[in-house]
Amino acid sequence: MPDRILIVDDEPNIRRTLEMVLRSEGFETIEAESAEAALRAVADASPDVAILDVQLPGMSGIDALRAMRRADPDLAVVMISGHATIAIAVEATREGAFDFLEKPLAKERVLVAVRNALRLRAIGREVRGYREREAGRRALVGESEAMRTVREEIARVAPAAARVLIRGESGTGKELVARAIHEASPRKDRPFVKVNCAAIPEELIESELFGSVKGAFTGAVATREGKFEQADGGTIFLDEVGDMSLRAQAKVLRAIQEGEVERVGGSGTIRVDVRVLSATNQDLEALAREGRFREDLYFRLNVVPIRVPPLRERKGDVRILARHFLDRCRIENDLPFRSISEPAMATLDRLPWRGNVRELANAIERLVIMAEGPVISIADLEKAGLLAHPPVESPLRAAGETVPALRTEEIARLGGLAEARRAFEIACIREGLRASGGNVSEAARLLGIDRTNLHKKIQVYGINMERNGTRPEEDGETTPFTERSS
């Protein structure tokens, strides 16, 4: 698609000249003889670049510039004027004009300005896309009761300066919660500085947190500011805080209590104004009892505790998160539309997700990349290695637990163990087929046998495949287990 240039000038001659120059270079042009017409064109034709005369009848060029940029912030505007004054040029630039050309217009100068403006617009769009993706990456997705509670807690603690200790299993979203608190706080325009206490070797953590002066230790080749200083006015996030050495803990305590830090090897202290958020998946109370975590620091950090629940406690969120990651991954990899079949989604919903949201995000990414068709199926889950372990909760396991105890006369009526086993197998297969909506692969997985084996059994027992999804008792075969409600 050719780039579209809007030409705004009340002089028909100028419009015609510009039109010729631009068309000969392959651009598409639209003309407007007033600011009002130009605004309509911006709305209707979304041009990429506008060439705008400063002197227009009616609304002035500067006002038009302002209005056009409001209508489309990505629009790059090149101003032209017959008698440019520095003052107008300065004002135009302040209002976001990209360039300023003087009449008479030189062809090459116009083309250079337009091409540069187009480049700027492309960069602007890229940056915007990047920001939107970043915002998407930071969004806390989920509609479960548990997630609502977390969001409420974030909203409650964000405005205050209170220190928050975020707890939760690995991969539950603790870092995301910390960022959300910062973003919703008055410190949001100041830095958010993350320190992963587990990833920094013990002998370096002090200089990392508090900085070091040149020559303080081997390797300290220059004076460096620490994370507390970097976070001044903002938020510091002490991730995996339970892994901090006792020495570092003492210094953090002091930084919190005194509001000042001392660089390693330095002499003076430096005042810092930092909000401290921390996170851990360890039992800090136990660490404190064992003397591995300072109790006084624990109380300082844990002014407000927030617990991020494991994924298995967030009813319904697996589906919402799966769709969220599916879209994100598809867009980032520039792939066509992908969806997840209902049986596959139901299976994802039942998996234990011991690695929580992180594991789910990684699984979806793997599925999106590996899936052969547009719809992700159970077979894809299998291929991606997601079904290596049986799901914690299968309807069959529940069925097994509710098998009624049999009395002697019932066993006799069934024709002994062999017949009872057969009847039980049939009941299980029917239930598996019902639960999977008639999908043999998923039923086989639920039953813990392979697909060909299940097919064989379906044939041997003459189970009516068209009836799956119906209640077993409508099938005519007698089994002792048909009273299970479905």
Ligand X SMILES: Nc1ncnc2c1ncn2[C@@H]1O[C@H](COP(=O)(O)OP(=O)(O)OP(=O)(O)O)[C@@H](O)[C@H]1O
Binding site for ligand X (CB under 6 A): 137, 140-142, 168, 170-176, 281, 321, 357-358, 361
Nearer to ligand X, 198 or 460 (CB): 198
CA distance 199 to 164: 21
Q: Which does 194 bind (CB under 5 to 8 A by kind): ligand X, Mg ion, none?
A: none
From 78-86, 172-180, 187-195, 444-452, span contacting Mg ion (CB under 5 A) = 172-180
Nearer to ligand X, 158 or 176 (CB): 176
Q: Which does 171 bind (CB under 5 to 8 A by kind): Mg ion, ligand X, none?
A: ligand X
Cα-trace Rg, the chain? 33
Residue number with the shortest CB distance to Mg ion?
175
For residue 175, state whether it binds Mg ion (rule: CB under 5 A).
yes
Q: In which residue are the tokens 């050309």 written? A: 101
Strands 270-271 and 260-261 turn out to be: antiparallel
Look at residues 436, 413, 408, 435 and name the one whose alpha carbon lies nearest to residue 423. 413
Q: Which does 35 bind (CB under 5 to 8 A by kind): Mg ion, ligand X, none?
A: none
Nearer to ligand X, 378 or 386 (CB): 386
CB of 388 to ligand X, least distance (A): 21
CB of 205 to Mg ion, least distance (A): 17
Longest Cα–Cα distance in the chain? 110
CB 21 within 8 A of CB 13: no
CB of 149 to ligand X, least distance (A): 13
From 170-178, 256-264, 377-385, 441-449, span contacting Mg ion (CB under 5 A) = 170-178
CB of 435 to Mg ion, least distance (A): 36
Q: Enumerate residues 6+ apart whose C-beta is below 8 A from 228.
A: 209, 210, 211, 236, 255, 261, 272, 274
Alpha helices in 158-292 (DSSP H): 174-183, 202-210, 227-230, 246-258, 284-289
Q: Enumerate residues 6+ apart whose C-beta is below 8 A from 348.
A: 318, 319, 322, 340, 360, 363, 381, 386
Q: Which does 421 bind (CB under 5 to 8 A by kind): Mg ion, ligand X, none?
A: none
CB of 336 to ligand X, least distance (A): 23
CB of 155 to Mg ion, least distance (A): 21
* 130 burial via Cβ count (<10 Å: 0-12, 13-18, 19+): exposed
Applying CB under 5 A, which residues contact Mg ion? 175
